Chains A and B, each alone.
Chain A
């Protein structure tokens, strides 16, 4: 969890959108939840389009 939070902070500076990274706890018994989360997340990333470096401003001043 702490790794995830710190990693998010770093990725933000590197210009990787928040919506591209997601952490969920799913047990092996939760097949439906797994399918749902995967479908949702795939759709979300699809909407964002391919990860193109150098298209958007590189985190501007914060970078």
Chain B
């Protein structure tokens, strides 16, 4: 069998997904034995022009990280879709917007104003903002258009597989690469490199009865390292989050923030968590319920930490 042609690209991402691929460590040599890298801005020097020159379907597998934030992201997503047989939405940003998706809580113009006018390190009395076309003496320069809202990869192109995580863990990355190399591909649309159980199912903390009289912020409480965090009053999103990360946050005494997204069949992770969280509120009167609920800080920003663009509302009004 000829070697796989592999591409990896980032749109609005942090590069953590690319590093997750490198985190397979010495197995990268094994990867090089089964695959040729044909595009990977983090690691090798291929240009967009090289990708454009490839025949359609030339790339066997493209791992696409990052959300679609601007017209360049959308353009490259379409280009890579055309050139790739299999396109994987790799990581929370590509699947549901991820951390960059928090921008959908804000308006486009307010973001630009904060960055180019108000930021402490900026002096911009002429109020210069990036423009898509700019005439300089020597010719015309172009910049992509900054979209009104962050989109998910599947909003702009057809996606074959989804690999969740912020970032996906190296063990999962390696497992998925092996599956790809073996050619035994799962059915289209599948979530790979994860399980379909919830975080709670795989969590080893002691669980008794989930009844919460008071929600805490981490600095207000000494966390018991053995007991369920939610039962201790921390807003752990384990009940509505897909397992697969190896319980990374909870084993460090941090509540899960839901980066692996919801399990199959759940459309809106945040809405599901509203339901789950409300059901543990242990109140005898409506007033008490109000008090307990009011202790939850930034509920929308927490429940939609990694997935606002992929949620039902997609963005704040």
Give chain B nearest CB distance to A12 CB in angstroms.
8
In the complex, the answer to whether B278 meets A63 with C-beta atoms within 8 Å is no
Looking at chain B's contact residues, is the secondary structure mostly helix, strand, loop, or mixed?
helix
Question: How many whole Å from B95's CB to the nearest CB in chain A?
Answer: 20
Set A1, A9, A59: member contacting B316, Cβ < 8 A:
A59
A13 CA / B301 CA spacing, docked (Å) = 8
Least Cβ–Cβ distance between B214 and chain A, in angstroms: 14
B317 touches A6 (CB 8 A): no
| Separation of A55 and B298 alpha carbons in the complex (Å) | 22
Q: In chain A between 1 and 30, which residues have their CB closer than 8 angstroms to a CB of chain B? A: 1-3, 5-7, 9-10, 13-16
Q: Which residue of A lies closest to B280 (CB)?
A: A2
How many chain A residues touch the partner (CB < 8 A)?
23
Which bucket holds chain B's interface residue count? 20 to 34
Are A14 and B299 in touch, CB under 8 angstroms? no
Count, A-B residue pairs, CB within 8 A: 83
Q: A15-B317, A58-B317, A63-B106 are in contact. Are A5 and B293 (CB under 8 A)?
A: yes
Assembly CA distance A14 to B271 (angstroms):
12
Which A residues touch B281, using CB under 8 A? 2, 6
Do A53 and B315 touch across chains, with their CB atoms under 8 A apart? Answer: yes
- Asked whether, in the complex, the Cβ of B293 is within 8 Å of the Cβ of A9, the reply is yes
Q: Which of B107, B296, B298 meets A6, CB within 8 Å? A: B296
Given A10-B274, A10-B300, A57-B107, the answer on whether A2 and B315 have CB atoms closer than 8 Å is: no
- Tell me the nearest residue of chain B to A14, going by C-beta: B316
B151 near A: Cβ within 8 Å? no
Which 8 A/B pairs are nearest by Cβ-Cβ distance?
A15-B317, A13-B300, A63-B105, A3-B278, A58-B316, A2-B278, A15-B316, A14-B316
Task: Enumerate chain A interface residues (CB-CB to B < 8 A).
Answer: 1-3, 5-7, 9-10, 13-16, 51-60, 63
